[in-house]
Copies of this chain bind each other. A is one copy, B any other.
Amino acid sequence: MADYLSMGKAELEAERQRLLAIYETKKAEGLKLDMSRGKPCPEQLDLSMGLLDIKEYKTESGADARNYGFLEGIPEARRLFGELLGVDPAQVLVGGNSSLQLMYDIIAAGCKDGLGGTPWNEDEHRKFLCPVPGYDRHFRVTEHFGFDLISVPMREDGPDMEIVEQLVKDPHVKGIWCVPTYSNPDGYCYSDETVRRLAALEPAADNFKIMWDNAYMVHYLEDAPEQTMNIMDACIASGHEELPILFCSTSKITFPGAGVSALAAGPKTFAQISKSLFPMIISFDKMNQLRHVLFLKDKAHILLHMERHKQIIKPKFDAMRRLLAEGLADCGPIAHWTDPKGGYFLSLYTLPGCAKRTVALCKEAGVVLTGAGAAYPYGVDPEDTNIRLAPTFPQLGEVEEATKLLCIAVRLAAVEHLLGA
């Protein structure tokens, strides 16, 4: 097989016919697979059923976790998440089942009341930095609250800091979304240098915040989790303690629909957050907080638990990487993909202008992928090249089938593109 990029029209047409025949055969198999969302599979969820065995809902101080109280979470839960996030428990709030909801509430509070600085709503031309590709639901929150979304390219060591440092000179720029460990969708980890430069930012806006969503901090696929530098420590060292707001959740440690979320921030920002959340809710679900504390215990124990997740999902990542390498060999550089050491995704990059068509071909043959463009602000990938792959939910055999089909689709879309179809 030759390199597609050096083929003539007749050769490409012949290859198209060959691929179409394979594609139609695959399509006739009537696949019905969903790789669109970063969802744990049932076997992963079974790992946490022990969480539900707790019978006694007294907190360590003797308080009844079943009743009202403790807006900021029960002390033992604040301590657990303080250890995970590497922040003083006094600056940790433990929330409900959704860290996305906490982030939404924080962005809402920043818009309306400010988070210690001027309320963002007072700036009609407010902007937010979005490292791309990134998490669609982050971008949508800031879009919902009227921010212009400014794309910043992601590199293997984090957002392009040259560009970030330039952009924050604009006083309309109010913050940046970050997934520092095993980023969604590339699986990249921020380098120490990136974290230090983020912590050292001197934004023109007095109310700039780093939204630090460490969603996959313990979700490793190698021998141990990546040790992303602690943004709070870096910010304290640079004298910018109020810059970051840290988030995490157990959505992909225990249950996606019924986990526990947490945030942490500098003392002033934290005080303002507590004040802003007060009118909203009496208290979050502390029974679930207590269940999580008793089951997960501490960070060391969480890492052991994540080792069991790894045993279930690593073979799926490995199969996908192997089959991508096999299925896209010998056709020239029409695609490349990331090699995550953890997290829930890998990114596949097609020839420019081919991602949408690839996803459509897959869909037509029964394999649902994340919509092309989803990882970009407003759902538009300007190059139309990125596809987010989520191998955790399907069974291993399904991942294999889906990946084989995907390779055919990538090739077919490339050939069509090169033919100018």
Contacts and interface: CB of A to CB of B under 8 A. Distances in A.
Q: Chain A: interface residue count, which band?
A: 35 or more
B255 A66 contact: yes
Interface string A269-291: 00000000001111111111000
A142 to B, nearest CB: 9
A284 B55 CA distance: 23
Contacts of A104: 279-281
Interface in A284-341: 284-288
A67 B39 contact: yes
A66 B52 contact: no
Main secondary structure of the interface of A (DSSP, over half): loop
Contact of A257 (B69, B101, B141): B69
Nearest to A278: B140
Interface in A216-254: none
Interface stretch (A92-100, A350-358, A413-421): A92-100
Task: Report the copy number of this chain in the oligomer.
Answer: 2
A42 B140 CA distance: 42
B100 A280 contact: yes
A258 B286 contact: yes
Given A104-B279, A255-B287, A287-B255, A67 B40 contact: yes
Given A45-B64, A137-B279, A257-B282, 15 more contacts: A39-B67, A40-B67, A42-B64, A45-B66, A52-B55, A66-B258, A67-B255, A67-B256, A96-B285, A98-B281, A104-B279, A140-B279, A256-B282, A257-B286, A258-B285
